[in-house]
Structure 1
Amino acid sequence: MTKRTLGISLYPDHSDLNEDKKYLVLANRYGFTRIFMSMLEVSEGKEKVAKKFSELIKFAKDLGFSTTLDIAPNIFNQLGISYDDLDFFSELGADAIRLDQGFDGQKEALISYNPQHLNIELNMSNDVAYLNNILSYAANKPFIYGCHNFYPQRGTGLPLDFFISSSTRFKKHGIETAAFITSQTGTIGPWDINDGLPTLEMHRDLPVEIQAKHLFSTGLIDCVIIGNAYASEAELRKLGELDRYQLVFKVDLADDITQVEREILLDNQHVRRGDITDLVIRSTEVRKKYKDSNNSVSLGTHDFKRGDIVIGNNNFGKYKNELQVVLEDHTDPRKNKVASIAPEELFLLDYLGPWAKFRFRR
């Protein structure tokens, strides 16, 4: 099972080398370890390109980053190099090349045996049997990776069902996967249109941490990469603090929440019961831990809506101090409303299946 990672993107043909280096130092501070570096729009000669990219990649490698170069067939023509000899990219210090366009399957399989041991990243944003075709030619599977596209033009990102279907094709083969989120401050991308650079259209206007939570919670993406540059330090920090392995919901506390309720809510690992129900998500272990703790009926509302978090009060018998997340609106005076999930995160409730682990933070 692949550990989950965070990445940033750099566009050396549209940015300043020193600014790129500052960004790398900042991203390194917050736990980022991968770089997506675009070579789709190289316009200078081979020597100039080599000098610029190798200096940046070496600087990144010294910080612990691995670098993927995004390349297209025209780059090979412009630089006078061949897919049969990847020395140029290896000498730059790259760890992987991403094939922006595909071949016939046999070609990709052959490239995966390159003597430079570069990983080959395939475009995941096609819901066709592309990967199966390549693997059928006895590809060097440990060197095959998957990475989605990003979409600079508003309205052109992938819909969720298509994303899930195309990602599943890679994940079921155990291929390491990546997808893009968009910074809300970044202005640099590969092209002159930059309405953000997400993979999923539904992410375009969301805060970065919610985009990343969503991608990780699908269980289909191993590396989340910020598509545009430069993300703000606040965005990098939020992503660095993110729990990559379970959903941590941001909540607004009820005004009358008690100390015991606050502790149950914020200081415990929550687990959804395996025998799930449509009405609520039940976290039942906490009721055993707090079975002797008093919990009076609150004076607040007992009419609950989706995303409200409730805890059983003294009138709930053996279910006193059980925590529940409301999925369907209902009324029950035996439960106290203690918090509600931030509205922009409500859609993430769909990813809490049986036995799912989750937590809350203010």
Structure 2
Amino acid sequence: MKRVLGISVYPDHSDIDQDKAYIKLAHKYGFGRIFMSMLEVTEGKETVKKKFKELIFFAKELGYETILDVAPNIFEELGISYDDMSFFHELGADGIRLDLGFDGSKEAMLTYNPYGVAIELNMSNDVAYLDNILTYEANTPFLYGCHNFYPQEGTALPYDFFVKCSERFKAHGIRTAAFVTSQVGDIGPWDINDGLPTLEMHRHLPVEVATKHLFATKLIDDVIIGNAYASEEELQAMGAVDRYQTEFSVEFVADVNEVEKQIVLNEQHYRRGDITDQMVRSTFVRKKYGQEANAPHDNEIEFQPGDIVIGNDAFGKYKNELQVVLKAHKDNRKNKVGQIIANEQLLLPFIHPWSKFKFTEK
């Protein structure tokens, strides 16, 4: 399944022109999905319809898919029914997110609405909710899953629980989404906004690092910035993330040579299938660069997890093999050429046998 980057907008807490500018800016950096909150509407059906329709169709012209976050009180407020998706179709919405569920049969029936409006489920519960819906023969291409976000510090999901919840959806091939948080955005649905991540471990991480982590799990298809407005620097950094393989940011040592930089930055790396727990080995590069000289440097130290080392001239047939250190060790036949930046070392456990990975210079 193709992976998509998303943003969130809150029309009842923001200016429509600023929302449009934000949508256009994110489009510049490759974003293609919008989470749009309808939880706070109070202006009456026609006013709400005009505002949301203008914003959604503006986004649609740029190629965005828009999912509206709705709750039962909104249906009462606007005088509409779950049994008639025409209102959301007229707005231009591609789907609606159900924060609260029904009996399973109802959700399944909604996926057959004649307008093709997708039904998105709350993923942040480790219960058999999805299984129940699927027993009623839901129209699965129009059934999505999306985690919650958590505005209060300390309340977002722990990683192990997130995995359990997500696996329930991925096991059935359901499209999934989760949230990361801008470190500068201050707009959300409520008056508390300590960031809007799905995972608590992401609350204070740069958006691009949290995005890399979610994609590395292979459990999430779409990553959405939960709060608004992210900075252009954040949008650019997140837009540059490789969505299909882990790409580590590297800080080089002062004495790294040009051959070593070429090996690190210019090659498609993959981990050997017969793995070791001491290091990740990218071995094919030693064949390509086997005739290139590589004098020893930074080789008398104890290498630490996250260090990138390359075999030097004293390493015989293993000269110019690249390794990523997983366990501290010493070996003066290897040069330390750099290290993975500290907050990206959480990605190392996702480099499995035959995993593809790359590096970029920080």
TM-score by length of 2: 0.99
SS in 2 for 1:13: helix
Distance change >3 Å, CA 299–CA 217, structure 1 → 2:
closer
- Deviation by residue 1:255-306 (Cα, 9 ceiling, x = unmatched): 1111111111111111000111100000000001011111122155431010
Shift of residue 141 of structure 1? 1.0
Aligned length: 361
- Structure 2 letter corresponding to 1:212: T
- The equivalent of 1:25 in structure 2 is 24
Taking the TM superposition and a 5 Å limit, the aligned residue runs for 1:1-362 are: 2-298=1-297, 300-362=299-361
Asked if structure 1 preserves the Cα contact closer than 8 Å seen for 2:299 and 2:333, the reply is no
What are structure 2's unaligned runs of at least 5 residues? none
What are structure 1's unaligned runs of at least 5 residues? none
- Structure 2 letter corresponding to 1:143: F
- Structure 2 letter corresponding to 1:205: H
Tell me the percent identity. 66
Q: Distance in 1 between matches of 2:13 and 2:72?
A: 20
4+ residue runs of structure 1 moved beyond 3 angstroms? Answer: 299-302
Distance change >3 Å, CA 105–CA 314, structure 1 → 2:
same
SS in 1 for 2:13: coil
Q: Distance in 1 between matches of 2:225 and 2:60?
A: 18
Q: Distance in 2 between matches of 1:137 and 1:336?
A: 60
Asked if structure 2 preserves the Cα contact closer than 8 Å seen for 1:249 and 1:359, the reply is yes
Shift of residue 234 of structure 1? 0.4
Asked if structure 2 preserves the Cα contact closer than 8 Å seen for 1:302 and 1:336, the reply is no
- Deviation by residue 1:99-131 (Cα, 9 ceiling, x = unmatched): 011111011011111111101000000111111
Return 297-306 or 51-60, whichever deviates more: 297-306
Asked if structure 2 preserves the Cα contact closer than 8 Å seen for 1:272 and 1:355, the reply is yes
Q: Distance in 2 between matches of 1:302 and 1:359?
A: 25
Asked if structure 1 preserves the Cα contact closer than 8 Å seen for 2:299 and 2:331, the reply is no
SS in 2 for 1:358: strand
- Structure 2 letter corresponding to 1:306: P
- Structure 1 letter corresponding to 2:72: P
- Deviation by residue 1:32-73 (Cα, 9 ceiling, x = unmatched): 010000011111100110011001011111111111000001
Asked if structure 1 preserves the Cα contact closer than 8 Å seen for 2:313 and 2:333, the reply is yes
Shift of residue 227 of structure 1? 0.3
Asked if structure 2 preserves the Cα contact closer than 8 Å seen for 1:24 and 1:60, the reply is yes
- Deviation by residue 1:303-349 (Cα, 9 ceiling, x = unmatched): 10101100011111111110000000000011110011111111110
SS in 1 for 2:357: strand
